[in-house]
């Protein structure tokens, strides 16, 4: 017969299996197995457990009330600052703990299990709202704004999205015109998390002759900064979001964070992978909360003389939810581990965010189905999970954008 290119080849022949079981080979096998270790370190377990207790004891009991009051969780925000959460990923010499993204993701998932509104607020404070100050800010900015932000004394926000520019960065229309001593920023931003409360804003605007993205720091006291109407959202009610306008807002040269005009996109793209990983971690948290509630309810609810978790239809739902969640955890923490190890991780970050947030949306939906009419009742938390989980589907790139990124990576 023709068409068998492997015909006549030997894949395993005499002597090829020699050494299997030999002590030296077993030692190599043991080393190989050690490298593929899915256990958390003692420190990672301690961090996860600390924030799990904080969730159970401090966040969860207040989450529904905060949501209904649409009140920013300032007290819990400050408690997390006191726990050192905002500085987890920053070096010790600037007031941080010098921990890695994996530890941060473990902690953030537990916070999101209690309240997505709080998780969104502290994620903004810990990464997007402060990272560019640490990377690019001068000594004055670090002392007056960055370090107090790690202590919870100042609140930061990032201004990137515009009415006509979301995923398409090239469509950003906000401009920064060079003048004596600084720049004049003009434009409109929207969907700015924490804007009504923020003390400073990291702003992306186009500057220079080529009109390339450049990063600026705008303090709340600067004339021409206008925090506009608050956006009323489907979920994360305790996380304020609003429009922000710049009406010929003067920003001194000292507050151009970019080292050169036009380097903003490069800095942003380096950070996007981290944003996607932590957004995936928030998805893990709300998914865990939804699964826990579904499991609890299914054990207590009785129909036709027995708990509904004894029926195969419900068992299948719980099994699928648990499997989706476990798979999502591995992908999120693997992406975080890659980033911490300095390995290529942009594809995996996109995969982690895509998989975890879509899985979380399915899990929250299935939890509502397990609770049936009670899943539609405001007195049960599942309705909040179902509303809040959609927050994770948007930030850091929509699922459709992430699929394009992944497809490009695997095709290159």
Rounded to whole angstroms, the Cα distance separating 364 from 359 reads 9
Q: Checking DSSP bridges between strand 175-179 and strand 182-193, what pairing results, if any? A: antiparallel
* Beta bridge partners of residue 205, listed in sequence order: 214
Of the candidates 367, 43, 385, the residue with the CA atom closest to the CA atom of residue 237:
385
Model pLDDT, residue 169? 86
Residue 72 near residue 239 (C-beta atoms within 8 A): yes
Q: What is the Cα 361 distance to its own chain's centre?
A: 15
Model pLDDT, residue 412? 87
Give the 3-state secondary structure of residue 192: strand
Please compute the mean of the pLDDT values over residues 188-210 and round it to a whole number.
96
Residue 113 near residue 268 (C-beta atoms within 8 A): no
Model pLDDT, residue 34? 54
CA dihedral 168, 174, 175, 176 (to 10 degrees): -110
Backbone angles phi, psi at 179, to 5 degrees: -135, 175
Rounded to whole angstroms, the Cα distance separating 215 from 255 reads 9
Provide Rg for the chain, Cα atoms: 24
Backbone angles phi, psi at 41, to 5 degrees: -75, 165
Of the candidates 375, 217, 222, 221, the residue with the CA atom closest to the CA atom of residue 308:
375
Predicted structure pTM score: 0.90
Backbone angles phi, psi at 316, to 5 degrees: -60, -40
pLDDT tens per residue, range 76-134? 999 999 999 999 999 999 999 999 999 999 999 999 999 999 999 999 999 999 999 99
Burial class (CB in 10 A: 0-12, 13-18, 19+), 196: middle
Residue 128 near residue 137 (C-beta atoms within 8 A): no
Model pLDDT, residue 264? 95
pLDDT at 14 > cutoff 80: no
Run of H or E including 65: helix 60-69
Model pLDDT, residue 106? 98
pLDDT at 32 > cutoff 60: no
The sign of the torsion formed by the CA atoms of 376, 73, 131, 187 equals positive
Model pLDDT, residue 24? 52
Model pLDDT, residue 8? 44
Percentage of the chain with pLDDT > 90? 88
pLDDT tens per residue, range 54-70? 999 999 999 999 999 99
Q: What is the Cα 21 distance to its own chain's centre?
A: 45
Please compute the mean of the pLDDT values over residues 330-350 and round it to a whole number.
97
Give the 3-state secondary structure of residue 246: strand
pLDDT at 160 > cutoff 90: yes
Model pLDDT, residue 10? 39
Residue 369 near residue 375 (C-beta atoms within 8 A): yes
User: Which residue did the predictor score with more confidence, 344 or 169?
Assistant: 344
Burial class (CB in 10 A: 0-12, 13-18, 19+), 366: buried
pLDDT tens per residue, range 235-270? 999 999 999 999 999 999 999 999 999 999 999 988
Q: Could you tell me the pLDDT band of residue 23, with boundaries at 50, 70 and 90?
A: low
Of the candidates 410, 285, 273, the residue with the CA atom closest to the CA atom of residue 352:
273
Residue 390 near residue 361 (C-beta atoms within 8 A): yes
Burial class (CB in 10 A: 0-12, 13-18, 19+), 406: middle
Model pLDDT, residue 167? 86
Percentage of the chain with pLDDT > 70? 92
Rounded to whole angstroms, the Cα distance separating 27 from 141 reads 53
Rounded to whole angstroms, the Cα distance separating 273 from 287 reads 21
Residue 166 near residue 139 (C-beta atoms within 8 A): no
> 211 in the Ramachandran plot: left (φ > 0), alpha (ψ -120 to 50) or beta?
left
Rounded to whole angstroms, the Cα distance separating 333 from 280 reads 9
Instruction: Name the average pLDDT for the chain.
Output: 92
pLDDT at 12 > cutoff 60: no
Rounded to whole angstroms, the Cα distance separating 14 from 112 reads 57
Model pLDDT, residue 7? 42
Model pLDDT, residue 37? 84
Q: Could you tell me the pLDDT band of residue 168, with boundaries at 50, 70 and 90?
A: confident
CA distances for 95 relative to 85, 88, 127, angstroms: 11, 9, 15
pLDDT tens per residue, range 266-288? 999 889 999 999 999 999 999 99
Rounded to whole angstroms, the Cα distance separating 21 from 3 reads 38
């Amino acid at each position: 017969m023709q068409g068998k290119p492997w015909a006549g080849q030997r894949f395993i022949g005499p002597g090829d299996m020699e050494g299997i079981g030999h002590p030296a080979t077993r030692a190599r096998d043991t080393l190989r197995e050690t490298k593929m270790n899915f256990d958390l370190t003692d420190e990672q377990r301690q961090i996860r457990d600390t924030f799990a207790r904080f969730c159970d004891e401090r966040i969860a009991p207040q989450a529904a009330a905060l949501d209904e009051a649409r009140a920013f969780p300032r007290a819990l925000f400050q408690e997390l600052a006191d726990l050192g959460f905002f500085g987890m990923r920053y070096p010790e010499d600037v007031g941080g703990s010098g921990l890695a993204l994996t530890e941060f993701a473990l902690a953030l998932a537990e916070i999101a299990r209690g309240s997505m509104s709080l998780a969104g607020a502290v994620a903004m404070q810990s990464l997007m709202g402060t990272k560019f100050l640490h990377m690019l800010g001068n000594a004055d900015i670090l002392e007056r704004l960055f370090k107090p932000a790690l202590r919870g004394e100042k609140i930061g926000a990032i201004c990137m999205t515009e009415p006509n520019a979301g995923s398409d960065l090239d469509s950003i229309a906000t401009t920064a015109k060079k003048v004596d001593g600084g720049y004049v920023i003009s434009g409109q931003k929207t969907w700015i998390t924490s804007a009504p409360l923020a003390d400073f804003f990291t702003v992306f605007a186009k500057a220079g002759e080529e009109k390339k993205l450049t990063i600026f720091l705008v303090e709340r006291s600067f004339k021409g900064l206008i925090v506009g109407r608050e956006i009323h959202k489907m979920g994360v009610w305790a996380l304020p979001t609003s429009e922000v306008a710049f009406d010929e807002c003067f920003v001194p040269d000292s507050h151009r964070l970019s080292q050169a005009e036009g380097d903003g996109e490069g800095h942003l793209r380096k950070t996007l992978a981290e944003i996607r990983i932590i957004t995936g971690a928030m998805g893990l948290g709300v998914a865990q909360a939804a699964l826990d509630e579904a499991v609890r309810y299914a054990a207590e609810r009785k129909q036709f003389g027995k708990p509904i978790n004894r029926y195969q239809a419900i068992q299948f739902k719980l099994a699928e939810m648990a499997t989706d969640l476990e798979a999502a955890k591995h992908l999120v923490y693997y992406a975080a581990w890659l980033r911490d190890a300095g390995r290529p991780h942009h594809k995996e970050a996109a995969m982690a965010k895509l998989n975890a947030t879509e899985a979380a949306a399915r899990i929250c939906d299935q939890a509502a189905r397990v609770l049936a009419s009670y899943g539609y009742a405001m007195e049960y938390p599942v309705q909040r999970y179902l509303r809040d989980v959609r927050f994770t589907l948007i930030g850091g790139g929509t699922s459709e954008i992430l699929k394009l990124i992944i497809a490009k990576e695997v095709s290159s």
